[in-house]
Amino acid sequence: MADYPEALDHMLAAWNERDLDKVRAHLEKALAADVIFCDPSNLVHGLDEFEAMVREFRTSIPEAVCARTTELDTHHNRYRYEWTVSSKGEVLVPGFDVAFVNDSGLVERVEGFFGPLLPLDG
């Protein structure tokens, strides 16, 4: 994909970084300073809060592996993709994100959702 933002890879690398002293370096390559991240468990604003969230995640599930599991669907600097968080070979949480990337190629907002969507009844 010609317009694939490398920031998404750097953001994923931060989630997978086991050396907590290296998390910030990944995030600085990925995120706008005023980034907003929102999922069912978190609502954070700015690079410092995002870093604290990742550090807490890495501390609480140190063996976790975060992986993007689909290609990207994209339009107007928005990128939708599915992901999993796994531990010891077992998927703990599947989900999807919609990431908004600014004109500088940095992630400025992430809207995350856990689990698959359920079909309509009837």
3-state secondary structure 50-94: HHHHHHHHHHHCCCCEEEECCCCEEECCEEEEEEEEEECCEEEEE
CATH 3.30.360.10 holds for 6-112: no
Burial of 30 (0-12, 13-18, 19+ CB in 10 A): buried
**pLDDT of the residue at 121:** 86
Question: Which pLDDT tens digit goes with each residue over 93-115?
Answer: 999 999 999 999 999 999 999 99
| pLDDT at residue 33 tops 60 | yes
**CB–CB of 114/95 below 8 Å?**
yes
Q: Is the pTM of this model over 0.75?
A: yes
CA distance 72 to 60: 29
| pLDDT at residue 62 tops 90 | yes
Short-list 38, 25, 32, 10, CA closest to 101 = 32
Residue 16's H or E segment, with its range, is: helix 6-16
Phi, psi of 103 (to 5 degrees): -65, -15
Question: Which pLDDT tens digit goes with each residue over 75-99?
Answer: 999 999 999 999 999 999 999 999 9
Sketch the domain layout of the chain as residue ranges. 6-112
CA distance 77 to 3: 9
